[in-house]
Amino acid sequence: MPRDPRKLAVFHRAHALALAVYRLTMALPAEERYGLSTQLRRAAVSVPTNLVEGSARITPREYRHFVGVALGSAAEVQYLLRLVVDLRLLVEDDVAVCRTCSGHVVRELQNLLNAVSRFEP
């Protein structure tokens, strides 16, 4: 039976992260439209998307795989946020909301991954 990702707090936080990243990337310079902006958006959207896809999988092992992919994407968002600040494309104040949200998402996904791993044979 499929799991309902909407019952997970981390799914809602990941969705909020994707929305915040979309708003944030609108402030990036136009020359980054096909560079960092696209990469950051794809990584952010990958987090809730993988939670949804994993929730539709049958076995705990498959579900665990997609939670792991979501975790990797959330970590990628964290790095890309650091990169845009280090490149001085945005200032720290601009990325603070996304940075805080991505930190919560990473921790919550790590906890979910640990919980799912307990059910794997």
Question: Where are the domains positioned within the chain?
Answer: 5-117
The residue count for the chain:
121
**C-alpha to C-alpha distance for 27 and 89, rounded to whole angstroms:** 9
Q: What's the Cα-to-Cα distance from 72 to each of 27, 28, 37, 50, 113, rounded to whole Å? A: 25, 23, 18, 10, 12
Note the pTM of the prediction, 2 decimals: 0.92
Per residue in 51-84, pLDDT tens? 999 999 888 889 999 999 999 999 999 999 999 9
* Closest-CA residue to 43 (of 20, 18, 66): 18
The pLDDT tens digits for 25-37 are 999 999 998 899 9
Assigned superfamily of 5-117? 23S rRNA-intervening sequence (1.20.1440.60)
